[in-house]
Structure 1
Amino acid sequence: MSSVGAGSSMQVHAVRFGPGQELLAGLQAFVDQRRLRAPFIITCVGSLTKATLRLANATATNTNEVMHLNGRFEIVSLVGTLNPEAHLHISLSDGEGKTLGGHVLGDLEIFTTAEVVIGEALDLQFVREMDEKTGFPELVVRTRSD
């Protein structure tokens, strides 16, 4: 795999999603509509009623380490890249302040709001290629050529 370690100029986008929307699909649609080629999450605040997360013990051959959440949760962190195969991790806090998190698989149903600030590295392109060592599609950073 080839990767670029170079810096880039950045553009900032902001979007708000409302009750009942699915956050991951909304983010992917936002990225597609604007044709962002190296997008990433800068910050996010909001709340969810559902989430499906893959836990840390999961491997390419053991994908059963999945948690389905239902209830009311505050989004206390959302990080990752939003290339065509988004790679996001989320931390959620429940009604008692207990925090849990993992790799976002989807089903992120918004309770009240999700306010997201997205950065785009204007000089780069993010793609994912299968990594034989990990068994997962991993990030490859390329210099933009357009």
Structure 2
Amino acid sequence: METLPLRLSPGQDLRRALEAALAVEGARAAFVLSGIGSLSGAQLRLAGRERPDTFEGPIEVLTLAGSLSDRESHLHATIALADGRVIGGHVAPGCTVRTTAEVLLGLLPEWEFRRMMDHATGHPELVIRRQPPAATGGEQP
């Protein structure tokens, strides 16, 4: 595992910025090891709901966790609203960084994450595959 510390800037979309960082690194699988920060607005899909709810800031990100892939990500966050209420759910696009977000990713270069429909759950679920080692110039198969 390789670690990638990130500091996101005001105005960045939390989810899209993490997915973009993964793409820059050329990784196909990663986990969020730690994440905190602040948001000016959040889109979280609460348990059992079809669509995300909108929350207006200032908002503190208390926890951020989940898996990232080069195709689909599955992120959860716990946020605190300005009045102290704490809410958690699935991170959707539309979580805008207010002052900063500090995130530590664990890149997994030997692995690939995909999501495929699981008929037992009725949802696209994580499929984990080991990647073959990258070929280097002078090695023979």
Same fold (TM over 0.5): yes
Matched, 1:136 2:127: no
Partner in structure 1 of residue 68 of structure 2: 82
Q: What's the secondary structure of 2:11's corresponding residue?
A: coil
Q: Deviations over 1:62-96 (max 9, x none)?
A: x14x3111121110000000112100000001223
Aligned to 1:56: 47
What is the match of residue 109 of structure 2?
Answer: 122
Distance 2:42 2:121 in 1: 25
Report the Cα distance in structure 1 between the residues aligned to 2:111 and 2:85, rounded to whole angstroms: 37
Aligned match of 1:29: 20
Deviation at residue 120 of structure 1 after TM alignment: 1.4
**Percent identity of the aligned residues?**
38
Deviation, 1:106, is 1.5
> Which has the greater radius of gyration?
2
Q: Which secondary structure state, in structure 2, belongs to the residue aligned with residue 145 of structure 1?
A: coil
Alignment TM-score, normalising by the size of structure 1: 0.85
CA RMSD of aligned residues (A): 1.3
**Deviation of 1:145 (Å):** 1.5
Count the aligned residue pairs.
132
Runs of 4+ in 1 over 3 A off after TM superposition: none
Which structure has more RCO (C-alpha within 8 Å, separation ≥ 6)?
A: 1
Structure 1 SS opposite 2:93:
strand
Structure 2: 5+ residue stretches without partners: 134-141
Query: Shift in Å at residue 136 of structure 1?
Result: 1.9
